[in-house]
Each structure stands twice: as structure tokens, then as C-alpha cells.
Structure 1
Amino acid sequence: MAAGAFPRFWAAATISSFGSAVSGVALPVLLVQVLDASATEVGLVNAAQFVPYAVLGLIAGVYVDRWRRRPVLVVTSLGRAFCLALIPLLWLAGGLHAWSLALLLIGFGAFSVFGFAASQSILPSLVPRSELVRANARLDQSDTAAQTAGPLVGGGLVGLFGAPIAIAVDAASYVVDAFLNAGLRVDEARSVDAKRPRLVAQLREGFGWTYRHATLGPLAVSTHVWFLASSASGTVLSLIALRTLGLSPLVFSLLIAGGGVTGLLGASLAPAVGRRLGPGPTIIGARLLYAVTWLIVALTMGTPAAVPALFVALALHGLAAGIENSNEMGYWQALTPDRLLGRVNGTRRSINRTVAVLGSALGGVCLTLIGDRGTLLGIVAVFAVATAIVALSPLRLQGRRWDPEAPSEA
């Protein structure tokens, strides 16, 4: 374990998470109320930041395995800060439109491809593998705390200064993130082997570990399907809450914050739940809860209970995410060799975000074509498919006796 490195890494992640939580409120308000975007435009802009994952995601994993990961974290955080800072500047200059916002989010996403691959791959160098679930739980606690307090701050900033200016807070958070990660003390001697395999061979090796592994393969596919539903629900949530139900930015921020509170609770419970049930049953149970969550929203839409049900549903969604995330990420990191972490993380995230592009766009299109309830029921069905994939796989057998230190074979 790199002494003192994880707390600094944790602090950097926490600060950028708070900034991202502010943007989580500001961006939908910017799109729906400031730019008056259509449902289709909202879906396309939401999808824009995920487009680079389809183009660069697989390659990013290879290079993150070749490069030192700390410098990648620093450069990508500064790049994201630059892209976000241009949003309020363009708005002040009168040049911000849905299409220009989409272009900036594509740039933001390009830096994020490399940044997330590096951040998920460096953690096993900072803590022992037996501590990965706990370390991921701490990161999730910070993230969910940010989702709780950040939207309230974001809602206040949007109300006082407007959505474009609020996004500048997120840009500043990435600058601080870069500064903290620049000071990480971690041994990252990368191989300089002259006989390094070619790019295609390295990509193939990452794919093989991701999809041929008995338990990781089905988990990866299930997660891809989950991202289709989750990204569609993100588009649907902002349009239903702000337009159909007419929630104010402040109430919308409270809605998101409610999910953050339960997410923080879930992240706090995650290590204990994982030890009690094992990673397999924990992941399967959480994925089932997502389907239940959106079924509640679908069944109450158009009734007087719609707004309270939306708050309850987002709270359950947050609880499921808090419990699942650290157990799933710890499971991947524990089973994957360090030399493959960049490629495996890059492969998964590339496909996940590519699917998210489709889901974000489909959410807006389906709302236009089949309405609120039909779209919501479709989201429920896709979440159910994601649950079934892992429930019927060998992952269900990875119970409380699972040992994170035991060697794994693909």
C-alpha cells in the first residue's frame, strides 16, 4: 500500500464529485430552461459526452496500461476543466447553443475516457486487494455525499447566478483535482519492453479477459444492458421532472439530493452487505431494485402520487447504487491482473458509454413517440433483462465464501 496516497486520491475524487454534482443540476436546467431544447435535443446532448467512449475507449485502455497513470489523471482533469470553463464563457458571449454545448461535452468526454480508465486502474496500486471494496466504498461515500449536498448547492447557484455560471464551479473542482493527484506518491514503473505486443494483440487480450471469464463476462454484458436503461432514464428524468411535472430547479435539486442521501447510506452499508451476502447476490439484488424503482415511477405517472413516488423511486435507486457500486468495482479489480486493468476498465467503459449514447438518445425519442408511461415501462423491461443476465450466470454462486485474494482464471 502506498502510504498516504489513498487519502490524497480520495480527496481529489471527492472535490471533483462535488463539482460534478453541481453540473448534474445545472446542465439539465441549462438545456431545458435556458436553451429551451427539445426532447430529442436533450437526448442528443446528453449522449454527446459519451460519444468519445465509442471512438477512443478501447485504445485508451491500452495506453493507460502503457503509461504512468498519475500523469494521465492530472492532464485529463485539466482538460475537463477547460471544456467546462468554455460553457459559461460562450454563454456570456452569446454563442452557446445546443450544438455548441454538445461539442464541448464531446471534448469533456474525450478527456474523461482516459481519466476514468486511469482512476479505476490506479486504485489497486494504492491499497491491498483485500481492501478494494472498502476503498471503493469510501469513494462511493464521497460521491454520494456529493450527490446529496452538491445538488442543493447547485440549485442555489443556478437560482442566484444561472445555470451557465454554476457550471464554472465544476470546472474549478477539476483544477483542484489535478493539483492533488499531481502530488500522489505511488510506484508506477511501467514496462519498456521493446517486444511489447502490437495494439491489436493488446486489445484482444483485454477483450478476452473481459468477456471470456466465467463470472466477469456475464457481469460485463449485464452492465452494458444496465447502461442502456440508466442513460435512457437520465434523459427521461430531467424532462419528466422539469417539464411534465413542472418542478422548479430547487425542487429538482432536492429530488437528486434525496437519491444522494440514500446512496450515502448504501455506500456505508456496502462492505458489510458484501461480506454478508458475497459480491454475486449483492449485485443481483441491487439490479433487481433498479427495475422496481422505475416501475414505481411508471405506475404513478399521471396521478397525484407522481411527485412523491418520484422522490421514493430516486431514493431506492440511490440505495441500490450505493450498495452495488463498490462491490462490483472491487470484484473487477480483485480478479483482474494489474497489467490488464487499463484495458479491461477501458473495454467495459467504452462499451458502457457507447450503449449510453444510444440509451440517452432513445429516451428522448421514445418520450416523443410513445409518451411518458410507455417509455418508463420500456426502461423497466431493460433493467429486468440486465438483472436476469447476472441472476442466471455463475456470478450468483459468488457468495459470502468468495476470497478476493484467491487467484482467478479466465
Structure 2
Amino acid sequence: MPPTSSDVPAASDAPQLWRHPDFRRLWLGQTASQLGEHATLVVLPLFAVLTLDVGADQLGVLRAVGQAPVLLLSLLVGAWVDRWRTRTVMVWADAGRALVLGAAAVLALCGGLGLPALLVAAFAVGALSVFFDVAYQSSLVRLVRRDQLVRGNSALEGSRSAAQVGGPALGGTLVSQLSVPAAAVFSALFFVLSFLSIRRIRRGEPVQERLARPVRTGRRIVEGLRFVAAGPLRAVCLASAAFQFFFAAMTTVYLLFLPRELHVTGAVVGLVLAATGPGALLGSVLAARLPGRFGHGPVLVTAAALGDGVLLCVPALHGSSALTLAALLAVNFVFGTFGQLVNVTVTAVRQALTPAGTQGRAAATITFVGMGMAPLGSLLGGFLAQEWGLRTALLVTAAGMLLSPVLMAASPLARLGRVLEAPAQSA
């Protein structure tokens, strides 16, 4: 059943969110899940680079395979999640990812974790992550009132930021100092913790009623596509696609640039990537205040331009000196701050402008178009690194990320004010 005023705290009393047991369970579960996911995103590529000595093209393929489920499954999953309870979807996705990583650890111990096995593991984890992420993006709106979404998202995204601190650092350190089996096992344990926490959520969710003649999945997918394409979320979708395409390309080059061009260790790579976490914590705090003061549109455009633009500094760095390390940490801190400010704000915009019965499909459509570009971006990054060299490829892909704030600035999204009006409900 839907939340009532008696069991959902007032938006003006944010500390009461933490007294609500189901909100705490969701917060703990998604924190653990994100920690496992961020560790895994570093463990698999670093193992391929440092242990299997793969080339730029092979690393691009590995990352593309892990991201391909977003393109293949997002729309279907979005249609299904609108008919399911998000709690059920998230717990089974966590259980599946824990099993996959456990199997990878066993293979690594037996010496059988080569590139083919890595590709299978990356695809399986990516597919299950699609289920978790789409359900997660729809879960909060089923637990709290619409006027609580910014504060609720700020709290949840803050915990995701903490995962960004620990996940990459933990993954990089374990691969570099210990072993891949240990790294895989640690990641699996975080998914187990998430499973145990989220399955304890007790509140019923307001899902759509089952119809005597259920609407076909294909029709529901088309309805979701039309809602996003014809409405105010179209600009969010296009900006997300531009960002994810070039970010995936840049990240592929970045993971090669740090160890091979700047000659830093796997542990240092993890530390540098983890620097986005403290910045993201600050971004989450800012996201709870700035949109209500300056307007959602201006905050989105400005934060995206600053966060993406700072990455242009990285290709200018040389060597592995303390100054270079400090610069990398600073760049990632700034990127984390403004990137998180964008993430929280755009999530609140999407949730506030979407009817309850369309939440899953809207999230999945934006994920499909946005994250669906990531496999192509990863392939492009590997190709550019192979053909143009790491430094040039990094400069080009980092510059391409600025297309996202340009698209937002040229759209009605830039004119969103301090208050987001709720839409009419739809089935």
C-alpha cells in the first residue's frame, strides 16, 4: 500500500528519514551493493591490464561486454519493474552477482580466469546490475512522498559516494597487493550484505494492479519510449547519452593512461579513482540545497560544465611524482563533486516529472539511451588509444564529454526552476 503521513516523515524534518527502518534498510543495502559494484568495475579491468597484459582494443572489448546488457535489457527490465516489487528485483540481483563473483574467485584460484571467463563474468554482472539499478531508481519514489525526493536522493547518493571512496581503492589494492580471488570474494560479500538488508524491507509497495488482460510488454516499452521522447525528459535522455558515450571512451583510455603513461601502480590507480568519493559526498550535500536556491536547470548546466571540463587537465600531466598524484586527486575530487550534484539533481527531476506508474519505464528508457551508448564509447576509446596514442585519445574523449552540458543548456531543461511540479498520474 502507498505510504501515509503517519509512517513517512515530513520533508521539513529530514533527520526523521533516518528513524524510518525501511529507509535505513534501503540505504544500507544500496550502499553495500554500490560498494561491491564499484570494486568489481576496477577489479576486472585491472586484472586484465596488470595480469593478462591485454591491449587497448581488448580492454575496450571487455568494458563493452560488461556494459552491453544496458543496451540489450534496459527497456525490457523497465517494463517488468513497473509490474514488480522493487525489493524482490534488488535482492535477487544481489544474490546473482554474489554467485557470479564467487565463481570467478574459484576460477582464479584454479588458474582458469582468462579473458574469455572475464568476458562472461563481466556480462553476467552487468546484466544483473541492470535489474538492480532500474529497480533501485524506482524504489525511493514508492517509499517516500514526492516532496521528499531531493532529500531522500541526497541521502542515498551520499551513501553511493561513500562506496565510490572505498570501492575503487579496495579493488585496486586487492588486485595489486593480494589476489583476484580475494578481490572477487570481497565484492561478493558486499552483495550478500545488500541482499540481507534489502530483503528486510517490510513496507508494501504501490505497484500497478494486475489487469484481466495484461498489457503486452512491447506496448509498455513503447509507452515508456514515447513518454520520454515527447516530454521534458527528452533533454535528460540526450544529455545522458552524450555523457555516457564519451565518459566510457575516456575511462577506457584513462585506465591505460595511468599505469602505462604515468607509470603508477594498481593501488595508486584505485586511490585516484576513489578521490571522486569525497567530492561526491560534498556534491550530495550541495544537491540538497542548491537546486532549491538557484533552480534545478541552472544547477544542472553549471555543475555538468565544471565537472566534465576539469578532466581536460589530465592529458597535460607527466610522470608519477607527488605533484602529479596531487593533481589527479584534485581533478577527481572536483569531478566527483559536480558529477554527483548533477546525478542527484537529475534523478530528482526525473522522479518528480514522471507519473508513479511510469517510473520504471522512464528510468529504463533513459538508462537504455544513455548507458546503452557506453559499450560503443568503450570500443571507441580502445580504438583511439590504439591508433592515436593514449595522451591524444584522452584529450579528445575528455573534450567530447562537454557535449552533455551544451545539450542541457540548449534545452528547456536549463529553465527548470526551484520547484518541480508533479505530473498527472498515468497507468
| TM-score tier (shorter) | over 0.9
Give a deviation string over 1:23-81, Cα, whole Å, max 9, x none. 34423321111121111111111111211122221111111112222211111111111
What does residue range 8-407 of structure 1 map to in structure 2 within 5 Å? 8-188=25-205, 189-213=207-231, 215-300=232-317, 307-400=325-418, 402-405=419-422
- Taking the aligned partners of 2:50 and 2:303, their CA distance within structure 1 comes to 34
- Taking the aligned partners of 1:24 and 1:240, their CA distance within structure 2 comes to 17
Deviation at 1:157, TM superposition (A): 3.0
- Taking the aligned partners of 2:100 and 2:112, their CA distance within structure 1 comes to 15
- Taking the aligned partners of 1:306 and 1:374, their CA distance within structure 2 comes to 18
In structure 1, give the amino acid aligned to 2:263.
G
- 8 A Cα contact 1:256 1:314, kept in partner: yes
Deviation at 1:317, TM superposition (A): 0.9
- 8 A Cα contact 2:42 2:270, kept in partner: yes
- 8 A Cα contact 1:125 1:186, kept in partner: no
- 8 A Cα contact 2:42 2:172, kept in partner: yes
- Taking the aligned partners of 1:377 and 1:164, their CA distance within structure 2 comes to 35
SS at match of 1:240: helix
Which residue does the alignment assign to 1:7?
Answer: 24
- 8 A Cα contact 2:262 2:319, kept in partner: no
- 8 A Cα contact 2:101 2:187, kept in partner: yes
Backbone CA RMSD of aligned residues: 2.1
- 8 A Cα contact 2:74 2:368, kept in partner: yes
Q: Judge which range, 71-80 or 379-388, deviates more.
A: 379-388
- Taking the aligned partners of 2:163 and 2:139, their CA distance within structure 1 comes to 22
Give a deviation string over 1:126-159, Cα, whole Å, max 9, x none. 1111111111111111111122233343344334
In structure 2, give the amino acid aligned to 1:343.
R
In structure 2, give the amino acid aligned to 1:230.
F
- 8 A Cα contact 2:257 2:391, kept in partner: no
- Taking the aligned partners of 2:386 and 2:396, their CA distance within structure 1 comes to 14
Q: Judge which range, 290-299 or 354-363, deviates more.
A: 290-299
Give a deviation string over 1:290-331, Cα, whole Å, max 9, x none. 331221113445797654433322121111112111111011
How many residues align? The count is 407
- Taking the aligned partners of 2:360 and 2:376, their CA distance within structure 1 comes to 24
Identical aligned pairs, as a percentage? 32
Q: TM-score, normalised by structure 2?
A: 0.90
- 8 A Cα contact 1:130 1:405, kept in partner: no
SS at match of 1:49: helix
Question: Higher helix fraction: Structure 1 or Structure 2?
Answer: 1
SS at match of 1:192: coil
- 8 A Cα contact 1:280 1:395, kept in partner: yes
Give a deviation string over 1:240-271, Cα, whole Å, max 9, x none. 11221111122212212222111111112211
In structure 1, give the amino acid aligned to 2:219.
A
Give a deviation string over 1:4-30, Cα, whole Å, max 9, x none. 211110010111222233334423321
Deviation at 1:352, TM superposition (A): 2.1
- 8 A Cα contact 1:291 1:380, kept in partner: yes
- Taking the aligned partners of 1:336 and 1:184, their CA distance within structure 2 comes to 24
Specify every segment of 5 or more residues in structure 2 that has no aligned partner in the other structure, as ranges.
Answer: 9-19
Specify every segment of 5 or more residues in structure 1 that has no aligned partner in the other structure, as ranges.
Answer: none
- Taking the aligned partners of 1:114 and 1:18, their CA distance within structure 2 comes to 17
In structure 1, give the amino acid aligned to 2:226.
G
In structure 1, give the amino acid aligned to 2:68.
V
In structure 1, give the amino acid aligned to 2:98.
A
